[in-house]
Amino acid sequence: MIQLGIEVSELNFSWASGVSAIKSCSLEVPKGEFWMLLGTNGSGKSTLLRLLAGLLNPQSGKIRVSEPVGFVFQNPDHQLVMPTVGADVAFGLVSEKLSHAVVRSRVEEALTAVNLLSLIRRPIYALSGGQKQRVAIAGALARNCDVLLLDEPTALLDPDSQIELVAGVQKLVKNRGITALWVTHRLDELNYCDGAFLLEKGSLIDQGEAQRLKQRLMELHQETEIPQ
């Protein structure tokens, strides 16, 4: 029997205005796999990710996500709060009341996983956009996250940093057995995932092999500007 890292059943969510954002959505992400969430602007991708992270509450349906859960925002400046790389990665461990030695070990291990250990004392303001996103991911890894949710984490990055980040997450999934769900508009990122979901107007309309969904999305929305 396949173990699931993420399981959603008949999920529905509407905004306070009454506008429906997610409609009868059901999906499963196998544990230890890297899946992507596709769709045009307004299709509900970011809303669904926030529901999975517990940042929003659905009106109906079921959500089961293995914990701990790490969430990476599109703009890392919205979640990096400490002055240095090491301090920011350690910040999420405060509530666990760990010894200084354990905290340092976890921080160093997490930064090694994202190839930033050499920058442990670097001020956050001195980092590139790609480095900031990797610090955000390291913060989730330090908390031993079982599921990693990423909301268009390469949207603000240059092409080289984009590929470096998505390839790095793919490696983390394989090496650590993390379950990852990544929201994207960039079709070239589909080369790195195990599978993908396609949302349209809040409904899941297709899922499966990434390259097939890439082609379908291009055919359905030829007039939509999607970086390729």
Tens digit of pLDDT for each residue in 44-96? 999 999 999 999 999 999 999 999 999 998 888 888 999 999 999 999 898 88
User: In Å, how far are 26, 27, 169 from 139, measured between CA atoms?
Assistant: 29, 27, 14
182/210 same-domain check: yes
Return the closest-CA partner of residue 227 out of 157, 180, 165, 168: 157
pLDDT beyond 70 at 224:
no
Assigned domain for 111 exists:
yes
| pLDDT single digits (tens) 165-204 | 899 899 888 988 999 999 988 888 999 999 999 998 999 9
pLDDT band for position 226 (cuts 50, 70, 90): very low
Q: Are 175 and 34 in contact (CB under 8 A)?
A: no
Domain that holds residue 199: 1-67+146-228
Of 102, 128, 144, which residue constitutes the final position of a domain?
144
Same domain, 138 and 176: no
Question: Looking at the structure, do residues 187 and 118 belong to the same domain, yes or no?
Answer: no
This prediction has a pTM of 0.88
Indicate if 227 and 155 belong to the same structural domain.
yes
Residue 227 pLDDT class (50, 70, 90 cuts) = very low
